[in-house]
Amino acid sequence: MSVLGGPPRYLLPFDHWASFKSGLLGITGEPVETQRRPVSDLKSIIYEGFTQALAEGAPRASCSGLGCPS
């Protein structure tokens, strides 16, 4: 049970542009187009894992994902 009294909610936020950019890829400043592709690829991997979890039985009514196009 969640703190709010309803069923548990699982939220996957994957719009961490700054974290991907600087922390994982070492990009500083505004990235150029060739530097944007790896960020998009990483987001795709995260989304594929999310959809696989749903396909393997994660409770669809309790799962959400947040992201933005890259």
* pTM (global) more than 0.85: no
> How would residue 30 be classed by pLDDT, with cut points 50, 70 and 90?
confident
Quick one: tokens of 52? 């696989």
According to the model, what pLDDT value does residue 1 have?
Answer: 47
The stretch 30-56 carries a mean pLDDT of 86
User: Which of 19, 10, 15 is CA-nearest to residue 47?
Assistant: 15
Residue 21 identity (one-letter amino acid): K
- Inter-residue contact 20 to 42 (CB < 8 Å): yes
Q: How many whole angstroms from its chain centre is CA 50? A: 8
The pLDDT score that the predictor gives to residue 61 is 85
In this prediction, residue 55 carries a pLDDT of: 94
DSSP code of 31? P
